[in-house]
Structure 1
Amino acid sequence: MVSKANERAQEELIAEFNALIADTEKLLAHTAELAGDEADELRLSIHDSLKRARDTLQLTEYTVRERAEEAVASAEAYVQQNPWQSVGIAAGVGFLLGLLASRR
């Protein structure tokens, strides 16, 4: 359940970042109509920023997925090694969430 929420958050973050890159690419295409040295410098700067953003996105995506997989594996191992403690923890968290939900 936690891994699904993490996956969704990761996918939303990646989608937002991809949208940002796409919007920046559109901006870059629109600046092609501009002329002059300043416009060329602007286009080059935007292009370099996009490349860095893509590289960072790929690295971040890989790192986040790897960490999420490790967290899920650790949680599964803990639950298998400590089933009664896991049940107790889950019951405590459920109780607290119930208290919080009843206050609203």
Structure 2
Amino acid sequence: MGITSKAETVLNSGLEDARYAGRRAARAARLANGDVSARVRDLLDDLEHALSNAKSASDVEALRAEIGDKLRQARSDFGDVRANLRRRANEVWEEADGYVHERPWQTLGAVAAVALVLGFIAGRS
């Protein structure tokens, strides 16, 4: 096995690890986005239902209390989602940072390969 084959193997391994970490980060973002979207839709549906059922002044007060409760719950839920997304992003960042520190030459090779490809693409434009 020549130097070129070894370098290619190391580079492919490094790129595959980087792709894996990127896919994990993207999946976490998609899950968080879907969760937030579903919660917002549920909140809006609940509010629309409550507004359509309000008939008298006492209903308005009950509606105001119900809306306040739902908004407090939504704020709490969104805070939980944000904290979960931040935790997941930190995990991916720590994994990437550890990879760079454990394999600096592979990382340098991967960055050089990406820069070479981007330079080639930019040069053709």
TM-score, length basis structure 1 = 0.53
For residue 63 of structure 1, what is the aligned residue in structure 2? 98
Question: Is residue 33 of structure 1 aligned with residue 35 of structure 2?
Answer: no
1:48 matched to 2:94: no
Matched, 1:24 2:31: yes
Q: Is 1:4 matched up with 2:11? A: yes
Cα separation, 1, equivalents of 2:106 and 2:34: 39
Aligned length: 72
Deviation of 1:50 after TM superposition, in Å, equals: 0.3
Q: Deviations over 1:77-102 (max 9, x none)?
A: xxxxxxxxxxxxxxxxxxxxxxxxxx
Question: Matched residues, percent identical?
Answer: 7
- Of structures 1 and 2, the larger Rg is shown by 2
Counterpart Cα distance in 2 of 1:17 and 1:3: 21
Change (3 A) 1:65 1:2: farther
In structure 1, runs of 5+ residues without a counterpart are: 73-104
Cα RMSD, aligned residues only: 2.6
Q: Which has the higher contact order (CA 8 A, sep 6+)?
A: 2
Which whole-Å deviations, capped at 9, do the CAs of 1:44-91 have from their partners, x for residues lacking one? 22211100111111111011122122689xxxxxxxxxxxxxxxxxxx
**Cα 1:2–1:65, aligned 2, differ >3 Å: closer, same or farther?**
farther
Note the C-alpha offset of 1:19.
1.6
Aligned to 1:80: none
* Structure 2 alignment gaps of length 5 or more: 1-7, 44-69, 108-125
Q: Secondary structure at the match of 2:103?
A: helix
